[in-house]
Amino acid sequence: MLRKRFARAGGRGLFGDMENTSQLRAVSRRRFAATLATAVCLAPVILGGAGCSDKTPPPSQPGGIYTFKLGDATLSVLPDRQQRITNKLLIGATPAILEKYAPDGSVPNAINAFLIQSGGKNTLVDTGLGTKVFDNLKTLGLAPEDITNVFITHMHGDHIGGLLRDGKAAFPNATLHIAHPEIVYWLAKEGSPAKEISAAYKGQTVLFNPVAPEAAGRSLPGVTAIAAFGHTPGHTVFRIESAGKRLLIWGDLTHATAVQLPHPEVAVTYDVDPARAVVSRKQIFEYAAKNKIAIAGMHIAWPGTGTIAAAPQGGFAFTPAT
Ligand SMILES: [Zn+2]
């Protein structure tokens, strides 16, 4: 049986002290290397006993790991791959919309997981397909044992693929955080690995109930789990906060960013409840744009993060981080 715990509001942040006010910014190649080198030297225990290392990690390159700062936290987009998806997956896109935003019959897409490092914690948000996440962590000097928390946006295979290895918890020291309605849905589904995952992470799983975007207080320290149901019954957007800076990691709120930003009414065949997914998408878009909160997504092509704003002609426009 999974341990159910509703986290308390307030308290010390998951990512440690939140005093700094530095802006969300991409880390330059030199700074990226320096940041990691410093982290390895100052925190060998946190980073798995690597000790001070002369090895310079590869710089952030198009399609590769993309690292940036959010307040005191260091975030990395961990791509499994960059790809394009066919327009045939879109629901409710008119010929005029497709002609304008996806004229060649497909749109850019990716499969990403995210790593958040701060306050001695190494937190994953989703695990991708499980094909690349371990290599990506290794590139950053981390072993699976170094991961302290894993947050799951929802339980589709391209998000939970890295949770198990040979039927065992791939992140043996991590607390696994999943929305209560999400695990309930998948535990009742034939063929889902939810039962196996529950067994593997027994005693180290925390279930939470996502809240409305404007709800006061945090549902989890340092992280607010926001309800964005529709894609799946417990689909969750995580609002990450550090030193007064905020970022929404919005899971599968978009699969076809090029089409769904200007036209949030377009759904995808992967949505369990497309109509509800549209309502959630519009709500989160409006919330992010109004409050100028940066966003990141599991299916946004490299670099996988940026900002959105209401577009004069209606809908929203996405500006990738640089
Ligand atoms: Zn997905």
Task: Compute, in angstroms, the gap from residue 2 CA to the centroid of ligand 1.
Answer: 24
Task: Compute, in angstroms, the gap from residue 99 CA to the centroid of ligand 1.
Answer: 25
Around ion ligand 1, which residues have CB less than 5 A away?
A: 156, 158, 252
Task: Compute, in angstroms, the gap from residue 212 CA to the centroid of ligand 1.
Answer: 22
Task: Compute, in angstroms, the gap from residue 253 CA to the centroid of ligand 1.
Answer: 9
**Sequence-separated (6 or more) residues with CB below 8 Å from residue 239:** 213, 223, 224, 226, 246, 247, 248, 293
pLDDT at 5: 39
Task: Compute, in angstroms, the gap from residue 201 CA to the centroid of ligand 1.
Answer: 22
Bridge-based pairing state of the strands 73-86 and 66-70? antiparallel
3-state SS track over 215-271: CCCCCECCEEEEECCCCCCCCEEEEEEECCEEEEECCCCCCCHHHHCCCCCCEECCC
Task: Compute, in angstroms, the gap from residue 158 CA to the centroid of ligand 1.
Answer: 5
> What's the Cα-to-Cα distance from 152 to each of 7, 103, 114, 250, rounded to whole Å?
16, 33, 11, 11
Task: Compute, in angstroms, the gap from residue 310 CA to the centroid of ligand 1.
Answer: 25
Task: Compute, in angstroms, the gap from residue 126 CA to the centroid of ligand 1.
Answer: 10
> What residues does 124 pair with on adjacent strands?
115, 150
pLDDT digits (tens, 9 = 90+) for 128-170: 999 999 999 999 999 999 999 999 999 999 999 999 999 999 9
Torsion angle of the four alpha carbons 235, 2, 195, 159, in this order, in degrees rounded to the nearest 10 = 30
Task: Compute, in angstroms, the gap from residue 156 CA to the centroid of ligand 1.
Answer: 6
Q: Which domains does the chain have, with CATH numbers?
A: 25-320 (3.60.15.10)
pLDDT at 12: 33
Task: Compute, in angstroms, the gap from residue 227 CA to the centroid of ligand 1.
Answer: 16
Phi, psi of 182, deg, nearest 5: -70, -50
Task: Compute, in angstroms, the gap from residue 234 CA to the centroid of ligand 1.
Answer: 13
Positive or negative: CA dihedral 310, 312, 317, 322? negative
pTM for the model: 0.83
Rounded mean pLDDT of the chain? 84
pLDDT digits (tens, 9 = 90+) for 162-201: 999 999 999 999 999 999 999 999 999 999 999 999 999 9
Read off the amino acid at residue 39. A
Q: What whole-number distance in Å separates Cα of residue 185 and Cα of residue 151?
A: 17
Q: How many CB atoms lie within 10 A of CB 287?
A: 17
pLDDT at 216: 63
